[in-house]
């Protein structure tokens, strides 16, 4: 790896609003250049800014593809993303070029599982709608059938993608006295014993679940698995929640399913695109709760994610073992 004339490695941070802890760690040992944008860096600026750098500290809003790797040049040794998801990175191309990838598994599992449960309850018990009524005069009196929604107790909850986050969601929903937890996953997960979750086929999970939660990473096999046919196989009373990636859903099919009451409601922390344009029907439907991709946005989680991202980059630059290398 080429070091800069200072004898230190050069690292580029793609936004100015990264949590401070990680950036400070990098600064101790590297020459750190930071984008001036507290937002997504315009692509042309990013391509120029990475030229000659040894490490890139990025987020899921940066596309790390061939073009960017070419722009960085042969000195690039590591890309560290402050996310567990890595669908924004051309992993194969990085491998080919010997560029290591650092990511942030585990440290955001609790935060994301908490948000998933929050979104599930917000959607089923209609919290945004109810708050809107309270604020705008719709609350006339306590009323026996007003603002009702299905409870979790006694319900069957289906979790699609039973990795770290899916399992953490299962542990939490079990505490609500659910009747059964089902999961759909490529492989059988021994951890399922802890919650008594049962592995079923995709069709079975769709047909049997009262709540269907998507925690699956976005890979070619999960792209738009929640399509028209999938929504039609769900119960009419089903509530669908997605905290993984918008790309797992055929969003037009979801909009139709919500409009036609093919399913009862949806809670989405992730959409296509992000941010969701203000005129998107999902933002107008009363049976849809949309959050701006805040799954891991617990203060503690973001700080640890930042430090892990920095430690991944530092280890790769020094030829050590990365604490969380994407293999
Ligand atoms: C991730 O890490 O992939 C989340 O989407 C953001 O924290």
Q: Is the CB of 296 under 6 A from ligand 1?
A: yes
Nearest-atom index, ligand 1, CA of 245: 5
Q: What is the mean pLDDT of residues 34-59?
A: 98
Which residue's CA is the nearest one to ligand 1's atom 6? 83
Which residue's CA is the nearest one to ligand 1's atom 4? 83
| Shared domain check, 183 and 134 | yes
Span 140-155, pLDDT tens digits: 999 999 999 999 999 9
CA gap 145, 89 in Å, rounded: 48
Q: What is the mean pLDDT of residues 257-271?
A: 98
CB 158, CB 184: distance < 8 Å: yes
Nearest-atom index, ligand 1, CA of 60: 3
Q: Is the CB of 85 under 6 A from ligand 1?
A: yes
**Residue from 112, 242, 291, 300 whose mutation best tests the ligand 1 pocket (most atoms within 8 A of CB):** 112
| Shared domain check, 132 and 59 | no
**Confidence class for position 177, pLDDT limits 50, 70, 90:** very high
Which phi and psi (to 5°) does residue 13 adopt? Answer: -105, 125
Beta-strand pair 211-214/156-160 = parallel
Q: Is the CB of 295 under 6 A from ligand 1?
A: yes
- What confidence score (pLDDT) does residue 74 get? 98
Which residue's CA is the nearest one to ligand 1's atom 1? 83
| Shared domain check, 130 and 75 | no
Place of tokens 């792209």: 223
72: left (phi over 0), alpha (psi -120 to 50) or beta: alpha
What spacing in Å lies between the alpha carbon of 192 and ligand 1's midpoint?
Answer: 23
Is position 324 within any domain? no
Is 86 annotated as catalytic?
A: no
Q: Give the count of domains, the chain.
A: 2
Q: Is the CB of 84 under 6 A from ligand 1?
A: yes
At residue 138, does pLDDT exceed 90? yes
Domain span including residue 70: 9-105+300-318
- DSSP class of 4: P
Q: Is the peptide bond before 273 cis (omega within 30 degrees of 0)?
A: yes
Is position 245 within any domain? yes
> What is the ipTM for the molecules in this complex?
0.98
| Shared domain check, 273 and 124 | yes
Q: Is the CB of 19 under 6 A from ligand 1?
A: no
The CATH code of the domain that includes 178 is 3.40.50.720
| Shared domain check, 45 and 88 | yes
| Shared domain check, 101 and 38 | yes
| Shared domain check, 155 and 65 | no
- What confidence score (pLDDT) does residue 2 get? 56
**Confidence class for position 104, pLDDT limits 50, 70, 90:** very high
What spacing in Å lies between the alpha carbon of 112 and ligand 1's midpoint?
Answer: 8
CB 62, CB 55: distance < 8 Å: no
Which residue's CA is the nearest one to ligand 1's atom 2? 83
């Amino acid at each position: 790896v080429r070091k800069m004339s200072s004898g230190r490695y050069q690292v580029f941070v793609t936004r100015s609003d990264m949590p401070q802890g990680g950036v400070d760690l990098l600064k101790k040992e590297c020459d750190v250049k930071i984008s001036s944008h507290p937002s997504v860096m315009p692509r042309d600026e990013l391509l120029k800014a990475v030229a000659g750098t040894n490490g890139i500290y990025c987020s899921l809003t940066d596309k790390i593809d061939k073009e960017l790797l070419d722009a960085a040049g042969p000195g690039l040794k590591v890309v560290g993303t402050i996310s567990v998801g890595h669908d924004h990175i051309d992993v194969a191309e990085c491998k080919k070029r010997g560029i290591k990838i650092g990511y942030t598994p585990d440290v955001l599992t609790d935060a994301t599982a908490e948000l998933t449960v929050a979104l599930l309850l917000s959607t089923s018990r209609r919290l945004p709608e109810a708050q809107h009524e309270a604020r705008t005069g719709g609350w006339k009196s306590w009323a026996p059938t007003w603002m009702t929604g299905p409870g979790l107790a006694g319900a069957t909850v289906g979790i699609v993608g039973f990795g770290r986050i899916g399992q953490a969601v299962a542990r939490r929903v079990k505490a609500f006295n659910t009747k059964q937890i089902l999961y759909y996953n490529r492989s059988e997960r021994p951890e399922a014993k802890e919650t008594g979750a049962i592995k079923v086929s995709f069709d079975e999970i769709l047909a049997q679940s009262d709540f269907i939660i998507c925690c699956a990473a976005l890979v070619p096999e999960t792209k738009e698995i929640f399509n028209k046919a999938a929504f039609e196989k769900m119960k009419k009373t089903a509530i669908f929640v997605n905290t993984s990636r918008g790309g797992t859903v055929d969003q037009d099919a979801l909009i139709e399913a919500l409009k036609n009451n093919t399913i009862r409601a949806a809670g989405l922390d992730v959409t296509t695109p992000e941010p969701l344009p203000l005129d998107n029907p999902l933002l107008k439907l009363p049976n849809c709760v949309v959050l701006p991709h805040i799954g891991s946005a617990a203060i503690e989680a973001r700080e640890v994610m930042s430090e892990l991202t920095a430690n991944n980059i530092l280890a790769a630059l020094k030829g050590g073992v990365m604490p969380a290398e994407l293999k």
